[in-house]
Structure 1
Amino acid sequence: MAKAVGIDLGTTNSVIAVMEGGRPEVIVNAEGGRTTPSVVAYKGDERLVGQIARRQAALNPTATVFDVKRFIGRRWDEVKEEAARVPFVVKEGPGGSVRIEVNGKDLAPEQVSAEVLRKLVADASAKLGYKVTEAVITVPAYFDNSQREATKQAGEIAGLNVLRVINEPTAAALAYGLEKKGNETVLVFDLGGGTFDVTVLEIGDGVFEVKSTAGDTHLGGSDFDHRIVDWLAEDFEKEHKFDLRKDKQALQRLIEAAEKAKIDLSNASETTISLPFITFDPETRTPMHLEKVLTRAKFEELTADLLRRVRQPVEQALADAKISAKDLNEVIMVGGSTRIPAVKRIVQEITGKTPNESVNPDEAVALGAAVQAGIIQGDANLSDIVLVDVTPLTLGVEVKGGMVGPMIPRNTTIPAKKTEIFTTAENNQPGVEIVVLQGERPMAADNKTLGRFKLEGIPPMPAGRPQIEVTFDIDANGILHVTAKEKTSGKESSIRIENTTTLDKNDVEKMVKEAEQNAAADKIRKEKVEKRNALDSMRVQALAQIDENAGASQDAKDKLKAAADQAEEAVRSEDDGKIADATKKLEEELRSFMTAAQAGQGQADAGAQTSASKAEDDDVIDADFKPAD
C-alpha cells in the first residue's frame, strides 16, 4: 500500500517526509535538497517551483511569488501591510478575499501553494517508486478556520487526499517525543518565516496532549528581513534621493540580501551587504551600488519591537496551561528563525531553560506530520501513540448589542461539539442571520468573521418564542462546521455561508482541473526540453569523438560533423520534428563513426602487433647471429 506523507507547507521553505522502518525520514527533492523553497515563478505558460524559481526571482520579480502562506485564507483588509512589501501584485479579490495578479491573471493563494505541494509530491513519488496521493499537512497552531480550510483546499487542488491538517508545534513535539519513554512537559517555540506559535504539551506513555497554544500569525522571519530592507532603502534614499523599494528588481534583490544577512548574523557578529549595480541614476544613467556593514547589535536594534512581541505568546501559553516556566522539562525550538541569537536569548530569559536543539528546526515539523500520517494509516510501530490537540481561538456568534456569545473557548480539546439555543429579538421575525466569529475580543466587530449563516422560514411567533438550535462542530483538523434549526416548529432550514475568504466547491474543482491540465502541459514541456538537451549532449559527444579519433577517415568525420551541425540547428529551432529527425540522423552517424573508428583502431593495433613481433624476431636473429670463422 502506498504510504501517506507528512508535509510542512512553510512560508519560506517546505519539507516532505514519510515513515520508513518505524522512523520518519525526510524525502530529498529532485535537486537533492532536503528543503524546497516555497517559491513559484510564472514564465508564460511555464511554472517554475523551488530553487529554480528562487534563482530567477531578481530578473522576474513581478511574476515570482513567495511568502504566499501569509495570504492564504486571509481577508484583504488583514494583509495590506504584507502586500505592500512584496514586488508582485497582491490585491483584493471577490468577497474581500486576496488575489495575486501574475501576467494579467488573478490567482488565489491556494493555487500558488498547490504548485509547491505538487512539486513536493511529484519528487517524493519519483524517489519512493509509487504515486503519493495522501498526506497530512501542517499549519501554524494559531491559524484560524479560514486559513485551515484554505490550506486543505490547496492540497485538494494539488490532487491530494488531505487526511489531516495538524498544528506545526504539535507535529514538532511528535518528532521530538517519538522515542521518549518518560513523562515530560514541553514548550514548543515555533518561529518560522511567516508565523509564530507557542504550544505547551504533556508527553508520556505515547500520549501527546496539548494543554494550550498561543501565537501571532503576523510575526516571522520575513518581518525581520523587512526591517533590514527598510534600513538599507532608507539609508540609500538619504544619500541618493531614490527609494529602491519602488524599483521591483531592486526590491527583490534587497529582500534576498536581507535574508542572507540575517542568516549570516546567526554565526557572525557582523556582515557586509554588497549589491553592485542595484539601480541607475535617473538623470545620468550611471550605475549605483549599495554596500553596508550590518552588525548583530544594529540588527537587534532594528528588530527590537519584533523581539518584544515573542514574549507575550509564551507567557499566554504558560498561563492558559496553568503552569509556570519552572514546571517545564524542555523548550523545543522549531523554525529557521529560532537560529537568531537574540531569539534564543529571550526564550532562555523567559523560561529559565537552555533551549533544546536536538531536533532539526527546519525538518521537525514535516517529520512529525509523517508520524501522524503513519498513525492514521495504522502503522504497527505507532499503534500506542495518541495525539490530543486543541483549538487555538475562541469560537462564538454575534448576539444582540454587537456582543460575542462564546460557543467553544480557546484551548478546548478537539474534536469538539457544542450546541446552544438562541431566539428572536422581534415579533414575527421570519429569519435570523447568525454571524460566526473567531477571536478573543468581547465585541463582535473586533473579531474575525468566519461566515454569515441565514436561517429562514421561521413561523410567525412572538419575540423570544422560537428556539434556534445552533451547533458548532470542530473536526480533528480544527475546521469548523456549523448547523442550525428551529426547534419549536420542528422544521429544519438550510444554511448558506456567504462572504467567506475560502474558495467554494466549484472553484476548487475548477482549479483541480486546471492544475491537472497544467501538470500534463508541464510534462510535455519537460519532455521537450529533455529531448533538446539530450540532442545537444549527443552533439557535443560527437564532436569530441571526431577530435579523439584523428585516424578516422575524412569521409566519416565529414558525415558526423554534418549530422552534428544539423543537430545544433534543430536545438536552436526548438522544432519537435527537426529535433526528432536530427536525433535519429546523429545517432546513426555516431554509431557508424564509432564502428568504423573501432575497426580502424583494431587494424592499427594488429599492424602494430605484427611490427612488434617482427622486431622481436629480428632481435632474436641478431642476437644469435655470429660471423663464420
Structure 2
Amino acid sequence: MRLGIPVGARQSGAVEEVIVGIDLGTTHSAVGVVDSGFPILLANEDGRRVIPSAVWFGASGEVEVGEKALRRRGVTPVVTSVKRLMGRRSGEVDDFPLPLDEGDGLRVLGRTPEEVSAEILKELKRVASWRLDREVHKAVITVPAYFNDAQRSATKKAGELAGLEVVRILNEPTAAALAYGLERLGESSRAAVYDLGGGTFDLSVLEMRDGVFEVLSTCGDTRLGGDDLDRALLDWVVGKSGAEFSDPMMRERALTEAERVKRQLSDREVESFRLPFAGEAGGVECEVTRGDLERLAKPLIERSIACCRRALADADLRKEDLDAVVLVGGSTRIPAVRAAVAEFFGREPDLSQHPDEAIALGAAIQAGVLSGAMRKVVLLDVTPLSLGIETFGGLMNVLIPRNSTIPTKAGEMFTNAVAGQRSMSIRVLQGEREMARDNWKLGDFAVEFEPAEKGRARVGVQFSIDENGILQVLARDTATGKDVVVEIRDAAVDVEDEKVEAMVSESIEHAFDDMAERVFTEARLKAEELLPAVASVLDQGAGLVDETEAASIRAAEAEVRAAIEEQDANRLKAAVEVLDKATEGVAAKLVERAMEEALARRMEE
C-alpha cells in the first residue's frame, strides 16, 4: 500500500457529499467522519462512540442493536459475532453461540449473516445521520486483510441492505495504519501494526517517509481473536467444574460470563466465574487466575506471533529494522498479549492508538479523502496470496504474485494443448504451491474457440483486482475477439480461513518437493513433445544421419525414457536438454532439404 497522508486541512470549496467510515467489527463497531479536516467518531444518544455488534430480533419484527440487544442476552437469543459467518458456507463454521440453519446458505434465527450485519450498519447509519443532521448514503467499510472475495462481497451486500453505497472496502490494518500515520507527518520510520480484535488478527508491516508510506507485507488469521479465548476459558471452566452448557441459551450466558472474567483479569490477578441457576447444583462458581487465562491464551498468542514472523520475512526486514510496533484491537488489552509482542519484537509496543477506535478513525480518513473533505490520498493495498490459473500438466501459473499492490491487473496468452480442441477450461486458483491441486479453487469457466492445430488457438487471460480486493477474470479468443468475463465474488474457499496462514507455511515446508515436481512435470511435458518428433526425424532423416549420430540420438532418447520411468526431475531435465541438442543437426538438415525441394518444385513450375 502506498499513500500520502492528508495534512488535516479541508479543501477549498464546499464538500458536496458526506462519506462515513465504518469499522464493522466482530465484537464492537463504530462510525466516523472527517469534520473540519479532522477525523472524529460519532457517538449515539448514550454518548457511546463504540457499540457492541449485537442484534436482537423480536417476535413482532422489532429489532434492537448494541447495548439494548446485549441486555436481553441470556433471556432471549441475541446474535453476536456474526462477522464470523460472513461469506461462509455450510460446514465451514463450528462452535457458533446460536444454532445455525445450514440448508440454503447459513442462517441464524432465520436470517442470513448479511441481513444481521445490515441491522448493525443501519444503526450506525442512523447515528451518523442524526449527528450530522443530514442523511448519510455512502460509506467506507473495513474488513480483515485476509477476508476472501466471498467475505468482502458479503460485507458489501450487508452495506447495500442497510441502504448504503459502499464506495470502498478497506483492510483493517490499512485503516489502523492511516490512523497511526496521521499523527506522524514528516517522520521517516518503519512500523508493524498488530491488530487483534474479537474475531480476527492481522499484522501489517509499513514504511513511512515524509507523509507517504507503503505497506510492505501483511499476514493474518480470520479465525483468531478474543472470541476464541472466551470459548477456551469456558471449556476450561466446564472441565474444572463438571458443569455442562448444552442448552444454547445457557451456553450464551456462560460465554458472556467468560468474556467478563477475561476482561477483569486484564486488571486483576484473580476473578470468579459465577453463573447462577446453571448446572445440576443450581449454579456454577469457579475461581480463575490471570495465570490460568495466560496458559489458555498461549497457543492463540503463538499463532499471532507466527504471523508476525512471516510478515517480517515477507517484508525482508529484521525486528531491529522496525521503529515501532503499534497495537490496535480490543484483545491487545490482555497483558499476556502485550508481553508476548514486546518479547518477540524486542521493544515495548506503541499504545498511542485507542484499541477500539483506531480502525474506525482510519476508515473515516479514507472516507474523507474520497469525499473531498481531505486532500487526496493514493491508497493501495496488497494481495495476501498469489492468484493464477491451472495450466497443462496440472501446474499453477501465477498471474498476480502474493503481496502485489492493488488495484492491479495482469495477463498472459495461452494456446491449445491438443489438436482439434474446441474449448479451454480456465480454472482460477489462489495459493502458494507449485501444483494446481495443492492450491484453492476460486472458480472455473470455459472459453470456446474454433478447432485448430496444437498451439494455434490463442486465448488471452487477464486478472484484474479492484480497490475492494474483488477479482475479475477476462478470457478472450484472439481470433474472434469474443470475451468471457467472470467476477469472483461468491466463491468461498473450501477450507477454514485460518488455513490461509497454513498455506504459506506449507509452501515453505514443501518448497523443495514442490519445485522438484514442477521441474519434472515441465520436463516430462517437453519430453512428450520431443519423443514423437525424434522418431519422425530419424524416419525422415535417412541419408542425413550417420550411424554415430543416430546412435547418439537413440542413447539420449533411451535416457529420457529411463528418467521418466524413474521420475527423477533433475535427470529428466538434463536428458531432455541432451536429446534436444543431439537432434539439432539433423533437424537443421531436414529444414534445408525441405527448402531445396520447395525451391526445385517452384522452378519446375
Tell me which interval the TM-score lies in, with the shorter structure as reference length: 0.7 to 0.9
Q: What is the aligned counterpart of 1:144 among 124, 148, 153?
A: 148
Q: Deviations over 1:314-342 (max 9, x none)?
A: 01111111111111111110100111111
CA distance in 1, matches of 2:353, 2:320: 22
Give the conservation status (yes or no) of the 8 Å contact 1:169–1:188: yes
One-letter identity of the residue aligned with 2:85: F
Q: What is the aligned counterpart of 1:59 among 56, 75, 85?
A: 75
Distance change (3 Å), C-alpha of 1:419 and 1:300? same
1:546-557 correspondence to structure 2 within 5 Å: none
Aligned counterpart, 1:478: 469
1:38-57 correspondence to structure 2 within 5 Å: 38-44=53-59, 45-57=61-73
- Does the residue aligned with 1:494 lie in a helix, a strand or coil? strand
Find out whether 1:89 has 2:93 as its counterpart: no
Aligned counterpart, 2:236: 231
Q: What is the aligned counterpart of 2:217 among 209, 212, 217?
A: 212
Aligned counterpart, 1:579: none
Aligned counterpart, 2:331: 337
Find out whether 1:349 has 2:343 as its counterpart: yes
Q: Deviations over 1:356-404 (max 9, x none)?
A: 011101000000111111111222x434x44332122211122334442
Q: What is the aligned counterpart of 1:167 among 165, 171, 195?
A: 171
Q: Deviations over 1:239-267 (max 9, x none)?
A: xxx621x1112100111011111111111
Find out whether 1:255 has 2:260 as its counterpart: no
Aligned counterpart, 1:382: 375
Q: CA deviation at 1:464?
A: 3.1
Q: Deviations over 1:443-495 (max 9, x none)?
A: 4444333222232x3111234332111111111222211111111x2331434
CA distance in 2, matches of 1:75, 1:26: 34
Q: CA deviation at 1:67?
A: 1.2
Q: What is the aligned counterpart of 2:392 among 400, 404, 409?
A: 400
One-letter identity of the residue aligned with 1:100: R
Q: CA deviation at 1:54?
A: 1.6
1:368-517 correspondence to structure 2 within 5 Å: 368-379=362-373, 381-383=374-376, 385-455=377-447, 457-487=448-478, 489-496=479-486, 500-501=490-491
One-letter identity of the residue aligned with 1:188: V
CA distance in 1, matches of 2:208, 2:170: 17
Give the conservation status (yes or no) of the 8 Å contact 1:171–1:369: yes
State the aligned residue count: 475
Q: Deviations over 1:276-320 (max 9, x none)?
A: 1024x4xxxxx6110011111111212321121111110111111
Q: What is the aligned counterpart of 2:196 among 150, 170, 191?
A: 191
1:169-318 correspondence to structure 2 within 5 Å: 169-180=173-184, 181-237=186-242, 243-244=244-245, 246-279=246-279, 281=280, 288-318=282-312
TM-score by length of 2: 0.75
Give the conservation status (yes or no) of the 8 Å contact 2:477–2:483: yes
CA distance in 1, matches of 2:241, 2:288: 14
Unaligned runs of at least 5 residues, structure 1: 282-286, 503-629
CA distance in 2, matches of 1:59, 1:495: 50
CA distance in 2, matches of 1:355, 1:492: 55
- Does the residue aligned with 2:380 lie in a helix, a strand or coil? strand
Distance change (3 Å), C-alpha of 1:187 and 1:23? same
Q: CA deviation at 1:122?
A: 0.8
Which of the pair is proportionally richer in helix? 1
One-letter identity of the residue aligned with 2:326: I
Q: What is the aligned counterpart of 2:93 among 53, 74, 80?
A: 80
Aligned counterpart, 2:546: none
Distance change (3 Å), C-alpha of 1:227 and 1:429? same
CA distance in 1, matches of 2:131, 2:488: 43
One-letter identity of the residue aligned with 1:236: S
Aligned counterpart, 1:524: none
CA distance in 2, matches of 1:319, 1:54: 42
RMSD: 1.9
Q: CA deviation at 1:90?
A: 4.7
1:104-123 correspondence to structure 2 within 5 Å: 105=110, 107-123=111-127
- Does the residue aligned with 1:459 lie in a helix, a strand or coil? coil
Give the conservation status (yes or no) of the 8 Å contact 2:34–2:365: yes
Give the conservation status (yes or no) of the 8 Å contact 2:471–2:488: no
Identity %: 45
One-letter identity of the residue aligned with 1:421: M
One-letter identity of the residue aligned with 1:145: D
One-letter identity of the residue aligned with 1:132: V
CA distance in 2, matches of 1:430, 1:320: 42
Unaligned runs of at least 5 residues, structure 2: 1-15, 493-605
Aligned counterpart, 2:354: 360
CA distance in 1, matches of 2:439, 2:123: 36
Name the larger-Rg structure. 1
CA distance in 2, matches of 1:378, 1:231: 51
Distance change (3 Å), C-alpha of 1:478 and 1:499? closer
Give the conservation status (yes or no) of the 8 Å contact 1:454–1:496: no
Give the conservation status (yes or no) of the 8 Å contact 1:208–1:386: no
Q: CA deviation at 1:344?
A: 0.7
Q: Deviations over 1:116-169 (max 9, x none)?
A: 111101111011100111111111111122222221221112111111111111
- Does the residue aligned with 2:282 lie in a helix, a strand or coil? strand
Q: CA deviation at 1:437?
A: 2.0
Distance change (3 Å), C-alpha of 1:215 and 1:496? closer
CA distance in 2, matches of 1:90, 1:317: 37
Distance change (3 Å), C-alpha of 1:388 and 1:30? same
Distance change (3 Å), C-alpha of 1:174 and 1:303? same
Q: Deviations over 1:11-42 (max 9, x none)?
A: 01101011112111110123321111111122
CA distance in 2, matches of 1:491, 1:122: 48
- Does the residue aligned with 1:7 lie in a helix, a strand or coil? strand
Give the conservation status (yes or no) of the 8 Å contact 1:451–1:499: no
Aligned counterpart, 1:125: 129
CA distance in 2, matches of 1:74, 1:434: 24
